[in-house]
């Protein structure tokens, strides 16, 4: 029987985390599968992927040069790890499924190509030939194709699906740019105008196309129009119409198309996810079901308990009983399929268990802790004025930070502020139960404590260094400064409207991480190509350097160029770090002085980068932020959530919250004001719950919530005729992701 529970637990866990892996159901395969999903192994894989990507720091052109044999060795180890992981995966799922899945093929191809490239590169280098490590471009694709890269694959899929629509708008946009360029050529080409640095103005068609394309990114505005505008006011009309049409209208249309398609495809994907989740839960139900009376198959509380304990070993008994009482609403001791299927969503709902314990001091020194001065202190700390007082202190502190810290008075004031902050934390610890104060969800308490203690340590180290040798470490001082300013952020938490906006931003945080990965993949590919194209073309000289080449970044082609004049020499592709920083700058403003040092065709690189990053990825990012805010504005709680809340209320185990103003408000975790005001004297139950209502453990949860309102409620119906004795006749839609 134990194996069955394992199988059911795997199904539930897969449903909970939206894993779509079609594993073998033999006990051995299940054990392997559990191992495969173990968090340690997953972290190891990610660590090796990061190591593999980080190799670019050590490979030529390197930030920190390492010999080729060393980097090759590390890369071989990484590739070995990926191979082992893949073999493990192959053992878990049926063979024919393994070979059908494009992401496995993709990983195999990447590993093989990397090996081939290393061989070629090594032998070419050994014989002294010129060699390019072209397979480095493939490395970030590992991030996409590992089993855990679901979110990333989904993002790429939605981009790919939106591409045709984007393409049509892009072609129309390019047509418009080409037409305007032709008009500019005819209007300005023969006028004999000169640009600011004396070159001919608008007399080469391709130059014009490029200049006008860059104008869309606003990078060369108003420089590009100045010669024409200086010659006649009427010519400005040309540029105004151009900017209106191409910068404002077309860029908005891009956003509209990307947004619309992104939403459409994501909705479809999430619908499939939900369907797959229900399939898996129905399977788990099939494993555990028993016949009991005439009610059809049910799962008993005993089996359910064992299952939940297996799926989530760290769940508290109270929490588990709460979940059961939500599922088994009518208290029959067993639940049917419909109630069972909710389990995955119930487990994903973040219920915070608040244990109401007496303060440890009350246990150890009851007479002192319950004495009237002590009670006064507690009442004082809980008072709203206490919060206001410290907000005021923070503001005064901000002014002091802004003042010159070499004034001894101000330097000493810093110690006073530190002391005050420490006092605040100690007082709070005295008043509130320390374990509650430092519970997992009290973000601002943690934030305060960490910042204040680090600031204290750093300030002490700094003073010790200063007084001992008279020497001040710049790095430590910088850290001290940063910590001091960070402390001020806390003031935001006192203003409810701000807290609301910040909570929404925190909520979309995990998804921003997915975009972070997306950006890393794209940047990495462009950085690798850029380094091969432009490495060493531009050199950076230190501020102290007196090298005459400093005036033109070590490249005579840049003599008198604006690039050198603006002192942009450090914006180069000489190593992977400066490449990433440069690509970020290009994302913000697409300035491309680089084309001067190579062939004009290098501009294609910059235009391509702009299209991929700015037109597509940034727009998807904006679309996501928009959608997340609209969800916050409009979507109500899910049914299940209301059920859970109702149940908590029924059991009178709820934590009463201030009803906060504003639409966006969800101040559960950040509510230390709460503690400050609730001077409840009546006995509370020893255990209370609150729901971290709108924060989801997984990105999928947020996405699902986004589109919940649109999801077909009939989706569940089609699972009713699912045969639990023959689970293999339902095929999980394994996301078919063709290699990027």
Query: Can you tell me which of 44, 66, 81, 169 binds its own copies, judged by CB under 8 A?
Result: 169
With helix as H, strand as E and coil as C, how does 497-510 read? HHHHHHHHHHHCHH
Q: Residue 355: in which H helix or E strand, if any?
A: strand 351-355
Length of the chain: 740
Looking at the Cβ atoms of 22 and 621, the one nearer to its own copies is: 621
Minimum CB separation from its own copies for residue 256, in Å? 4
Nearer of residues 225 and 653 to its own copies, judged by Cβ: 225
Q: How far is CA 552 from CA 72, 412, 581, 589, in A?
A: 36, 47, 21, 22
Distance CA 558, CA 560 (A): 6
- Stretch of 272-280, 581-589, 600-608, 685-693 lying at the interface with its own copies (CB under 8 A): 581-589
Of the candidate residues 57, 90, 109, 256, the single one contacting its own copies (CB under 8 A): 256
Residue span binding its own copies (CB under 8 A) among the ranges 81-89, 252-260, 302-310, 448-456: 252-260
Residue 352 pairs with which residues in a beta bridge? 690
Per the omega criterion (within 30 degrees of 0), is the bond before 222 cis?
yes
The span of 223-231, 276-284, 312-320, 374-382 binding its own copies (CB under 8 A) equals 223-231
Shortest approach of its own copies to residue 68 CB, angstroms? 24
Q: Which of 54, 132, 240, 376 binds its own copies (CB under 8 A)?
A: 240
Q: Which is nearer to its own copies, 418 or 648 (CB)?
A: 418
Of 303-332, which residues contact its own copies (CB under 8 A)? none
Task: Evaluate whether 335 touches 299 at the Cβ level (below 8 Å).
Answer: yes
Closer Cβ to its own copies, 185 or 687, answer by number: 185
If one asks whether residue 588 binds its own copies (CB under 8 A), the answer comes out as yes
Among 34, 120, 236, 640, binds its own copies (CB under 8 A): 236
Q: Is 625 in the site for its own copies (CB under 8 A)?
A: yes
Name residues contacting its own copies, limited to 176-195 (CB under 8 A): 179, 182-183, 185-187
Q: What are phi and psi of 689, to 5 degrees?
A: -120, 145
Minimum separation from the CB atom of position 661 to its own copies (A): 11
Least separation in angstroms between residue 689's CB and its own copies is: 31
First to last CA, the chain: 44
Q: Cβ–Cβ contacts within 10 Å for residue 740, how many?
A: 18
Scanning residues 555 to 574, which ones bind its own copies (CB under 8 A)?
Answer: 565-568, 570-571
Q: State which residue, 132 or 589, has the beta carbon closest to its own copies.
A: 589
Nearer CB in complex with its own copies: 585/715: 585
Q: Phi and psi dihedrals of 58, rounded to 5?
A: -105, -15
CA dist 342 and 340 (Å) reads: 5
Give the H or E element holding residue 527: helix 509-534
Residue 581 within binding range of its own copies, rule CB under 8 A: yes
* Of the candidate residues 92, 142, 212, 243, the single one contacting its own copies (CB under 8 A): 243
Closer CB to its own copies, residue 270 or residue 569?
569
Among 22, 46, 229, 732, binds its own copies (CB under 8 A): 229
Nearest distance from C-beta of residue 685 to its own copies, angstroms:
37
Rounded to the nearest whole angstrom, what is the least distance from the CB of residue 244 to its own copies in the complex? 9
Q: Which two tokens stand for residue 495?
A: 């203003």
Question: What x-and-dash track marks residues 477-506 binding its own copies by CB under 8 A?
Answer: -x--xx-xx--xx--x----xx--xx--x-
Nearer residue to its own copies within complex by CB, 115 or 398 = 398
Exactly one of 25, 72, 161, 221 binds its own copies (CB under 8 A); which one? 221
Contacts to its own copies from residues 401-460, by CB under 8 A: 401-402, 405
DSSP string for 605-639? HHHHHIIIIIIIIIHHHHHHHHHHHHHHHH----H
Distance CA 434, CA 421 (A): 17
> Phi and psi dihedrals of 200, rounded to 5?
-70, 145
DSSP annotation string for 208-261: HHHHHHHHHTTTTTTGGGHHHHHH-HHHHHHHHHHIIIIIIIIHHHHHHHHHHH
**Segment interacting with its own copies, rule: CB under 8 A, options 133-141, 280-288, 441-449, 616-624:** 616-624
Q: What angle do CA 83, 85, 88 make, to 5 degrees?
A: 110
Which is closer to its own copies, CB of 1 or CB of 233? 233
Contacts of 617 (CB under 8 A, 6+ apart): 159, 515, 518, 519, 522
What is the nearest approach in angstroms of its own copies to the Cβ of residue 167? 9
Q: Shortest gap between Cβ of 60 and its own copies (angstroms)?
A: 19
**58 contributes a contact to its own copies by CB under 8 A:** no
Q: Which of 240, 340, 231 is nearest to 296 (CA)?
A: 340
Count of residues binding its own copies (CB under 8 A)? Answer: 78
**Cβ distance 697 to 17 under 8 Å?**
no
Cα Dmax for the chain:
96
| Shorter beta-carbon distance to its own copies: residue 126 or 206 | 206
Site for its own copies in 630-659 (CB under 8 A): 630, 633
Give the three-state DSSP class for 194.
Answer: strand
Specify whether the CB–CB gap between 679 and 375 falls below 8 A.
no
- Find the part of the chain contacting its own copies (CB under 8 A) among 52-60, 311-319, 621-629, 681-689: 621-629
Nearer of residues 46 and 205 to its own copies, judged by Cβ? 205
Residue (176 or 306) nearer to its own copies, CB: 176
- Strands of the sheet containing 297-300, edge to edge, are 290-291, 297-300, 334-335
Task: Pick from 543, 661, 683, 717 the residue near its own copies by CB under 8 A.
Answer: 543
Our CB check for its own copies shows the closer of 145 and 504 to be 504
Two tokens at 254? 């891009």
Residue 43, Cβ neighbours under 10 Å: how many?
11
Q: Which region, judged by CB under 8 A, interacts with its own copies, from 122-130, 257-265, 282-290, 319-327?
A: 257-265
Please identify, using beta-carbon distances, which residue of 628 and 691 lies nearer to its own copies: 628
Q: For residues 657 and 643, what is the distance between their CA atoms, to the nearest angstrom?
A: 18
Question: What are the angstrom distances between the C-alpha of 72 and each of 52, 75, 80?
Answer: 10, 5, 12
Among 97-105, 321-329, 439-447, 617-625, the segment contacting its own copies (CB under 8 A): 617-625
Please report whether residue 618 would count as binding its own copies according to CB under 8 A: yes
**Is 520 a residue that touches its own copies (CB under 8 A)?**
no
Shorter beta-carbon distance to its own copies: residue 502 or 655? 502
Cβ 32 to its own copies shortest distance, Å: 41
146 Cβ partners below 8 Å, 6+ apart?
Answer: 45, 46, 49, 85, 103, 107
Among residues 492 and 557, whose Cβ is nearest to its own copies? 492
By CB under 8 A, the residues from 360 to 399 that bind its own copies are 398
DSSP letters for 387-443: HHHHHHHHHHHHHHHHS-TTSHHHHHHHHHHHHHHHHHHHHHHHHS-HHHHT-TT-H
Closest separation in Å from C-beta 165 to its own copies: 9
Q: How far apart are CA 281 and CA 10, in angstroms?
A: 10
Stretch that binds its own copies, among 220-228, 311-319, 435-443, 709-717 (CB under 8 A): 220-228
């Amino acid at each position: 029987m134990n194996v069955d529970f394992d199988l059911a637990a795997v199904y539930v866990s897969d449903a909970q985390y939206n894993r779509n892996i079609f594993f073998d159901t033999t006990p051995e395969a299940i054990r392997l599968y559990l191992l495969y999903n173990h968090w340690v192994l997953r972290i190891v894989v990610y660590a090796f992927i990061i190591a593999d990507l980080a190799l670019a720091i050590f490979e030529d052109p390197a930030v920190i040069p390492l010999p080729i044999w060393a980097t090759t060795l590390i890369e071989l180890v990484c590739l070995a790890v990926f191979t082992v992981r893949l073999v493990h995966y192959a053992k878990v799922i049926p063979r024919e499924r393994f070979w059908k899945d494009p992401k496995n093929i993709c990983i195999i191809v990447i590993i093989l190509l990397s090996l081939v490239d290393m061989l070629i590169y090594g032998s070419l280098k050994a014989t002294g030939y010129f060699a390019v490590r072209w397979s480095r471009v493939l490395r970030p694709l590992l991030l996409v194709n590992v089993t855990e890269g679901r979110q990333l694959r989904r993002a790429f899929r939605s981009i790919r699906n939106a591409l045709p629509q984007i393409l049509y708008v892009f072609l129309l946009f390019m047509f418009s740019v080409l037409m305007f360029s032709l008009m500019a050529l005819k209007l300005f080409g023969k006028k004999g105008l000169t640009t600011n640095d004396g070159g001919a103005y608008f007399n080469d068609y391709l130059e014009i196309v490029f200049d006008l394309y860059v104008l869309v990114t606003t990078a060369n505005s108003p420089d590009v129009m100045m010669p024409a505008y200086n010659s006649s006011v009427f010519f400005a009309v040309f540029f105004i119409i151009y900017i209106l049409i191409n910068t404002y209208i077309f860029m908005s249309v891009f956003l509209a198309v990307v947004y619309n398609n992104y939403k459409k495809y994501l909705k479809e994907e999430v619908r499939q996810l939900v369907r797959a989740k229900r399939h898996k839960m129905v399977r788990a139900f099939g494993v555990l079901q028993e016949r009991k009376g005439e009610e059809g198959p049910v799962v008993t509380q005993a089996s359910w308990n064992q299952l939940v304990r297996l799926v989530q070993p760290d769940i508290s008994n109270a929490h588990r009983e709460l979940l059961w009482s939500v599922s088994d609403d009518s208290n029959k001791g067993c639940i049917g399929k419909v109630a069972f299927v909710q389990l995955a969503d119930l487990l994903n709902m973040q219920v915070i268990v608040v244990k109401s314990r007496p303060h440890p001091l009350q246990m150890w020194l009851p007479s002192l802790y319950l004495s009237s001065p002590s009670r006064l202190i507690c009442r004082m700390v809980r008072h709203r004025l206490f919060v206001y007082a410290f907000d005021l202190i923070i503001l005064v502190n901000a002014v002091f930070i802004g003042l010159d810290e070499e004034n001894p008075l101000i330097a000493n004031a810093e110690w006073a502020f530190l002391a005050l902050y420490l006092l605040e934390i100690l007082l709070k610890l005295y008043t509130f139960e320390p374990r509650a104060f430092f519970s997992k969800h009290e973000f601002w308490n943690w934030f305060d404590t960490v910042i204040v203690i680090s600031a204290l340590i750093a300030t002490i180290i700094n003073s010790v260094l200063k007084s001992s040798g008279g020497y001040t470490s710049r790095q430590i001082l910088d850290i001290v400064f940063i910590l001091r300013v960070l402390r001020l952020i806390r003031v935001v938490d006192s203003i409810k409207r701000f807290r609301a906006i910040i909570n929404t931003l925190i909520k979309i945080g995990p998804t921003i991480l997915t975009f972070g990965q997306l950006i890393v993949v794209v940047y990495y590919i462009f950085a690798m190509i850029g380094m091969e194209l432009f490495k060493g073309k531009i050199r950076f000289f230190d501020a102290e350097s007196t090298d005459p080449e400093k005036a033109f970044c070590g490249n005579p082609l840049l003599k008198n160029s604006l690039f050198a004049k603006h002192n942009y020499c450090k914006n180069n592709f000489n190593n992977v770090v400066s490449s990433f920083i440069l690509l970020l700058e290009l994302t913000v403003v697409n300035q491309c002085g680089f084309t001067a040092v190579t062939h004009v065709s290098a501009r294609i690189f910059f235009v391509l980068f702009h299209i991929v990053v700015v037109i597509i990825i940034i727009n998807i990012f904006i679309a996501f932020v928009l959608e997340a805010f609209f969800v916050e504005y409009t979507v109500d709680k899910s049914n299940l959530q209301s059920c859970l809340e109702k149940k908590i209320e029924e059991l009178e185990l709820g934590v009463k919250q201030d009803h906060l103003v504003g639409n966006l408000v969800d101040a559960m975790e950040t509510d230390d004001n709460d503690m400050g005001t609730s001077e409840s004297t009546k006995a509370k139950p020893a255990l209370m719950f609150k729901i971290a209502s709108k924060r989801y453990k997984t990105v999928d949860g947020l996405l699902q919530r986004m589109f919940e309102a649109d999801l077909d409620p009939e989706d569940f119906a089609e699972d009713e005729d699912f045969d639990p004795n023959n689970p293999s006749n339902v095929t999980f839609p394994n996301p078919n992701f063709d290699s990027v």
